[in-house]
Structure 1
Amino acid sequence: MMGPLGLYSAVVLIWGSTWIAIKFQLSVAPELAVAYRFVLAAVILMVWCFIRRLPMRYTLRDHGFMAGLGICLFSFNYVLIYIASIHLTSGLLAVVFSSIVIMNMINGAIFFKRRPETRTLIGAAIGLGGIMLVFARDLVAFDFAAGGSIGLLASLAGSYIASLGNMASARNQARGIPVLQANAFGMMYGSVLLLGYILVTGIPFTFDTSPSFIAALIYLALFGSVLAFGFYLTLLGKIGPDRAAYSSVMFPVVALLLSTWFEGFVWDRNIVLGVGLTLLGNIVILTKRMPKPVLAATVAASSVVTSGVNPGEADGQ
């Protein structure tokens, strides 16, 4: 079974590169791009569960929480992220998403009664200040019709919804539901609900057959969704949602480097200082003393949860 360091590294490298891949999906409506991605990911996971003959019988309440996981982490949060990517470079989008560290801290206190330490609050304040500095010009001239403002609001909303998905995953793992099965059902429910939304709203179905779109779709579905979410949510089960989100310390760096190379992203003083503060804030949180797990049961759950992607590491999955 991969340890926390291996899981952390895999998440950073994969998710650091998915932000640029999203740009190649914008030739169709964001809702369609997300639906295609998670339909394919759900099919891959369901087929794997069938081949492995994994247990798939859960209570109606458990299915409700897995549906909540799908809505928050595998569908509508990404629609907002894709919308934001129309207005922001992939690197800046990753920086905003790193605010999930702060959001997980807040939601952990709300849902699991975890009181944040003083060091965590200081780190959160530094990170939030960094994000505000990066978007200082947009905040000063805030306009709901301006692209930068739309991108900032959409990315923050998508990040918060994703944080709620983290809470649902923590609950599912505390209940002993393996990450693989939870992700399979979650992606299935999320994509079905999103397809229903597309049908109700009358968004026309289109598909881009270009090699770049198809390559990005496969990469995002297999690596960015099946593998990375398996790694990330397993990490979440091992060390809790706020510490699992520490992958955001490094994947914005990967995303910014790729954005500089592929999108011609230009660094100015505000961005350099803001990104530095954002990462520093996350590091301040990261270096605190290891907290207790979100729920006592999470310890037991994490001992039987694997990423669900390594055929040689299955134990009950």
Structure 2
Amino acid sequence: MNNTFLYIITVLIWGSTWIAINYQLGGVAPEVSIVYRFGLAAIILFTYCKFKGLTLQFSLRHHLQFFLFGITLFSFNYYFLYSAQQHINSALTCIAFSMIMFFNVFNARIWYGTKITQQVYVGGALGLLGIVTLFWPQISDTQLGPETLLGLGLCIMGTLIASTGNMLSMKNQQMKLPLIPAMAWGMAYGAVFMAVIVVIQGKSFNFDYTFAYVSSLLYLTIFGSVIAFASYLTLLNRIGAHKASYASIMFPAVAVIISTIVEGFSWSTYTFAGLLFILAGNLVVLIRPKQQLPSASFSEKPTYEAEQVSIDQTEMKTQRL
């Protein structure tokens, strides 16, 4: 699919899943809801792989990679994010999670030596300014209590773990592991691992048969897990973590609108200004500068591939001479 289309899908779906997660909280423990969500998503993906004839046979080394990939991107991170929403509203959780772009920028540099352009720094700074502006009423509130601080702390922890999962997804690509089977095994391992945690904690695998819980579970499974993750991880491998993860900074634009309708979120000057900064940062990060090589554009692959092609062409010319 076109990268722009994948980006829009990711933003719209994950910007809306925050409110769906709210309907998962209550009678069913967050850990149990995670098991249901990613267990169902894994079944869907395994079925798809069988139908399409995609291989599901991998070595023990690959399964270890899938396990680490699964517990960081489909298990622990969501446990912390689900738990955070028991203390803060969906808009604040979404805004806090938007910090994943900055974690990805630094992790990509550490893990893979990815060079970050000035364009990304400027866009990221605008995005951060937008997030701070959106969040300013809560930051400046002198009555910030332990509930809000706990919720933000849990969200940041989940974001850090999710960023590690992003790096492991890029490692899957380097190891030439197919995306959909990798997602299937990763989600399966994430669900099984979280199920073990539930058993250790002594919690029961109960179920909420209300329309709100079942419909939100199906939405999170099909759209929030299968479709959104396939779109995002494809984008991650094509344009790099630093650009793909800017989608997370766009989530508040969707989450705030939904929170306004469902939770009565009140807009202020900070809301308008914050969203404008976020949109401006989005344009800076994703739009190709006039003097930049086509390989660095939003619609092409990461820069290092273009550099390798240039090197290969130079060597061919040298051999001819």
SS at match of 1:206: coil
Q: 1:293 corresponds to which residue?
A: 302
Q: Deviations over 1:266-302 (max 9, x none)?
A: 12344444444344444433346527628759x9xxx
Q: 1:311 corresponds to which residue?
A: none
Letter in 1 for 2:172: N
Following superposition, the deviation at residue 21 of structure 1 comes to 0.8
Q: 1:315 corresponds to which residue?
A: none
Confirm or deny: 8 A CA contact 1:112 1:295 kept in the other structure. no
Q: 2:22 corresponds to which residue?
A: 23
Q: 2:171 corresponds to which residue?
A: 171
SS at match of 2:23: helix
Q: 2:67 corresponds to which residue?
A: 67
Q: Deviations over 1:115-138 (max 9, x none)?
A: 322332333334334434444465
Confirm or deny: 8 A CA contact 2:95 2:249 kept in the other structure. no
Confirm or deny: 8 A CA contact 1:143 1:149 kept in the other structure. no
In structure 2, the CA distance between the partners of 1:161 and 1:276, relative to structure 1 (3 Å rule), is: farther
Structure number with larger C-alpha Rg: 2
Confirm or deny: 8 A CA contact 2:6 2:232 kept in the other structure. yes
Q: Does 1:14 align with 2:13?
A: yes
Q: 1:202 corresponds to which residue?
A: 202
Q: Deviations over 1:155-214 (max 9, x none)?
A: 122112111111111110122211100100000011101111111121233211111100
**Range with bigger deviation, 158-167 or 198-207:** 198-207
In structure 2, the CA distance between the partners of 1:153 and 1:184, relative to structure 1 (3 Å rule), is: same
Following superposition, the deviation at residue 40 of structure 1 comes to 0.8
Q: 2:113 corresponds to which residue?
A: 113
Q: Does 1:124 align with 2:124?
A: yes
Q: Give the distance between the partners of 1:15 and 1:144, measured in 2 at CA.
A: 27
In structure 2, the CA distance between the partners of 1:132 and 1:253, relative to structure 1 (3 Å rule), is: closer
What is the aligned length?
A: 297
Following superposition, the deviation at residue 16 of structure 1 comes to 1.9
Letter in 2 for 1:3: N
Q: Give the distance between the partners of 1:232 and 1:242, measured in 2 at CA.
A: 12
In structure 2, the CA distance between the partners of 1:281 and 1:148, relative to structure 1 (3 Å rule), is: farther
Q: TM-score, normalised by structure 1?
A: 0.85
Q: 1:46 corresponds to which residue?
A: 46
Structure 2: gaps (5+ residues): 309-321
Q: 2:240 corresponds to which residue?
A: 240
Q: Give the distance between the partners of 1:135 and 1:14, measured in 2 at CA.
A: 22
Letter in 2 for 1:216: S
**Range with bigger deviation, 131-140 or 208-217:** 131-140
Mapping of residues 274-313 of structure 1, within 5 Å = 274-287=274-287, 289=292, 290=296, 293=302, 296=305
Q: Give the distance between the partners of 1:138 and 1:256, measured in 2 at CA.
A: 15
Confirm or deny: 8 A CA contact 1:78 1:158 kept in the other structure. yes
Q: TM-score, normalised by structure 2?
A: 0.84
Q: 1:76 corresponds to which residue?
A: 76
Q: What is the percent sequence identity of the aligned residues? A: 41
C-alpha RMSD of the superposition = 2.5
Q: 1:5 corresponds to which residue?
A: 4
Q: 1:216 corresponds to which residue?
A: 216
Letter in 2 for 1:18: T
